[in-house]
Amino acid sequence: MVLDVDGVLTDGGIYVGARPGQAPIEFKRFDIQDGLAVKMLRWAGIDVAIVSGRVSEATAHRAEELGIDECHQDPGANKLPIVKGLLDDRGLGWEQAAMVGDDLADLPVLERVGLPVAVANAVPEVQEVSRWSTQASGGRGAVREFVRALLIARGEWDGLVREYCDARSEE
């Protein structure tokens, strides 16, 4: 599972600021329900990679929080060789991968993966090549929506929810 960041895990907005004489700092808003969904993918044994067309410490920090080792940020938004390398490393073909995207930089990968997914507010070109589209916009639960549907289809959602709740129900 390959996830874009800006516009998929976030709403696409960034907050940039700096104190006088200090380095700029960037903040992003990530949806907490999407974060739990990413963890559930990993619990289901599905590899998750973040591939972003921007370099951001906020992205690296969020990937670390979610336990995602494969966090790739390319300032030129050249995602195709990154994803090809990830698949090659695992001995997987394009048809065995899914990607959730929203913008033009995602198209080269979305055109090749077996399950291309667009968030609701994706550009028309991404919508056109996608086999599944979320009702929710990027950064507003779109990843949770897709992960839930995927894990329901695999027959794993209810069990993962039960395990999650049981682990938090002990007195």
Sign of CA dihedral 139, 144, 98, 38: positive
In this structure, the dihedral spanned by the alpha carbons of residues 134, 136, 139 and 142, taken in order and rounded to 10 degrees, is -40
Burial (CB count within 10 angstroms: exposed 0-12, middle 13-18, buried 19+), residue 147:
buried
Residues, the chain, total? Answer: 171
The answer for 117, left when phi > 0, alpha when psi is -120 to 50, beta otherwise, is: beta
DSSP state at residue 114: S
pLDDT at 170 > cutoff 90: no
Q: What percent of the chain has pLDDT over 70?
A: 99
Q: All domains of the chain, ordered by start, with CATH?
A: 2-167 (3.40.50.1000)
Of 69, 52, 45, 64, give the one whose Cα is nearest residue 8: 52
Strands 2-3 and 70-73: unpaired
User: What is the per-residue pLDDT across 101-142, written as a single tens digit (0 to 9) for each?
Assistant: 999 999 999 999 999 999 999 999 999 999 999 999 999 999
User: What is the per-residue pLDDT across 53-73, written as a single tens digit (0 to 9) for each?
Assistant: 999 999 999 999 999 999 999
Structural element, H or E, at residue 109: helix 107-110
Average pLDDT over residues 7-25: 92
pLDDT at 171 > cutoff 90: no
Average per-residue pLDDT for the chain: 96
pLDDT for the residue 95:
98
pLDDT for the residue 133:
98
pLDDT for the residue 63:
98
